[in-house]
């Protein structure tokens, strides 16, 4: 059996194979500071981290430790003050704001705690939104949307608006929206923080499935140790410094 087939059948083999691949994310001596009056307030300091393609990484730490700041840097929503940040072979720390916007649309999918769905649009229209910035035809967009909704198990809810869906279904729509452009990297900021335990476990199992069967690289910020158990590994931030890995 080929290595690729072994990885497809065995999640542990998949993780091992992923570790041998070229890193998707390389952070080297990364720093981020913000101006507060005349002072410079550091949020991240001298952070180095490698994330292989196909990894599922949980990012934990107390409030104010820099988790969301790091997620924003990885997603091109902000730029580092120091160090280098390479994703999918591109030095995005050198990009202008316009370049970051175009790069983000092609390479990153975001999943948030509160879904951020448009209440007046159906599930399929919400999922289609990222594709409106592309050159895809209406027919191509429709195909991508249907595929994404099928992946998250909501093909039969395509015409429903967010108010007609449960919280778990709304988060599945948000995940489909993040997947619809086939990004290299999925960034999840407390994706189950607004859900009950049973529904949270369903969403986390879906993320785990997308990682193991679709090969999606996922970075998930969470305060929940039970959520972190779904990831392949966990890293901890404290006061802007990477403390440990598991």
Average pLDDT, 10 consecutive residues per value, the chain (246 residues)? 36 41 88 86 91 95 90 93 93 91 89 90 95 88 94 92 94 94 92 89 93 94 94 93 68
Burial 61-85 (b: 16+ CB within 10 A, else e): beeebbbbbbbbbbbbbbbbbbbeb
- Please enumerate in sequence order all residues whose Cβ is within 8 A of that of 125, keeping only pairs 6 or more positions apart, or say none: 118
Q: Nearest to residue 52, comparing CAs of 241, 225, 220, 217? A: 217
> Which residues is 52 bridged to in the sheet?
23
| pLDDT on residue 7 | 36
Determine if the pTM surpasses 0.95.
no
Whether 133 and 160 have beta carbons less than 8 Å apart is answered as: no
Domains of the chain: 54-79+99-245 (3.40.50.300)
| pLDDT on residue 242 | 86
**Quick one: how many helices (H) and strands (E) in the chain?**
9, 10
| pLDDT on residue 146 | 94
């Amino acid at each position: 059996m080929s290595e690729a087939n072994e990885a497809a059948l065995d999640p542990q083999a998949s993780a091992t194979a992923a570790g041998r691949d070229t890193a998707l994310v390389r952070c080297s001596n990364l720093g981020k500071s913000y101006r507060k009056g005349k002072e410079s307030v550091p949020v991240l300091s001298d952070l180095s981290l490698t994330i292989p393609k196909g990894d599922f990484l949980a990012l934990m730490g107390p409030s104010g430790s820099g988790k969301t700041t790091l997620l924003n840097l990885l997603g091109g929503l902000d730029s580092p003050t120091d160090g280098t940040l390479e994703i999918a072979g591109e030095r995005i720390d050198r990009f202008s704001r316009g370049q970051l916007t175009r790069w983000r649309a092609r390479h990153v999918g975001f999943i948030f705690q509160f879904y951020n769905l448009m209440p007046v649009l159906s599930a399929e229209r919400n999922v289609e939104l990222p594709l409106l910035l592309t050159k895809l035809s209406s027919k191509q967009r429709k195909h991508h949307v249907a595929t994404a909704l099928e992946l998250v198990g909501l093909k039969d809810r395509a015409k429903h608006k967010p108010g007609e869906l449960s919280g778990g279904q709304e988060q599945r729509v948000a995940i489909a929206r993040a997947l619809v452009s086939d990004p290299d990297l999925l960034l999840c900021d407390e994706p189950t923080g607004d859900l009950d335990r049973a529904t949270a476990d369903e969403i986390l199992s879906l993320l785990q499935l997308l990682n193991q069967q679709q090969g999606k690289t996922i970075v998930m910020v969470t305060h929940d140790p039970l959520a972190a158990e779904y990831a392949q590994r966990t890293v901890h931030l404290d006061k802007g410094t990477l403390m440990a890995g598991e």
